[in-house]
Amino acid sequence: MLTLGIDDAGRGPLIGPMILAGVLVNSEQEKLLKRYNVRDSKQVIHPERTRLAKLIKENSLADKVEKLSPNEIDSSIKSGTNLNTLEAQAMAKIINEINKGKYTKEKIKIIVDCPSVNIKAWTITLRKYIRITDNIELFCEHKADANHVSVSAASIIAKVQREEEITKIKKEFSSYGDTGSGYPSDPITQEFLKKNGNALKDSGLFRKTWATWKALFPDKQQSTLQGF
């Protein structure tokens, strides 16, 4: 049996995309990733994450990344699709992209780090978007990134991709100042938003359905963030 681990990075930031990643491994590769000390990305500093991401890609059967831009997130929420459902759709894309061709002849155990407090309901939602289910076993769990090496690997791939996206953003918008981490709790990000929100409101940089944006620019956005 093969194992596909799936996790996300950048679910909560005000700035930049959310990244979702899947890593498909066989049993020997799982053992190897454990020997490499692949673990939850939150337990790994940036240089080691970058090194481990390379090792993961070299020692897995497949890896797949989905990127959701601020505009995609906002448009989905405005249309009535909450963030939990949007993430289920993106994770299903990863599953569908990997579970095709020769892999449909394999049994695949899929382990997902569940973003919702209601695991049962969210699992039902995820299943709706998966095209082929005959060969899979699906497990959605909290803290899966800490408990399963395949999900830890996915968390590292997602985090490194998110960091690369933020590096690009910092360079592109360097003339406006430091964007910080992009998280609403970051004082640097808060200051960047206050100074540049109006000027950059149409740049695609910000998630304007977030409460942080609406608190500062109440007349700019009327829709509410659902499921966050």
Could you read off the pLDDT of 51-105 as tens digits, one per residue? 999 999 999 999 999 999 999 999 999 999 999 999 999 999 999 999 999 999 9
Cα 7 to Cα 39, 54, 79, 111, 152, distances in angstroms: 12, 17, 25, 9, 8
Local confidence band at 219 (pLDDT 50, 70, 90 cut-offs): low
Single out the residue of 111, 143, 146 nearest to residue 41, CA to CA. 146
Cα 64 to Cα 5, 10, 29, 158, 210, distances in angstroms: 11, 16, 17, 9, 27
Local confidence band at 218 (pLDDT 50, 70, 90 cut-offs): confident
Could you read off the pLDDT of 155-203 as tens digits, one per residue? 999 999 999 999 999 999 999 999 999 999 999 999 999 999 999 999 9
CA dihedral (216, 221, 224, 225) positive or negative: negative
Could you read off the pLDDT of 208-217 as tens digits, one per residue? 999 999 999 9
Distance CA 19, CA 191 (A): 24
Distance CA 10, CA 23 (A): 18
Could you read off the pLDDT of 11-36 as tens digits, one per residue? 999 999 999 999 999 999 999 999 99
User: In this structure, are residues 49 and 41 in contact, taking their beta carbons and an 8 Å threshold?
Assistant: yes
The domains located in the chain, with CATH, are 2-169 (3.30.420.10), 175-216 (1.10.10)
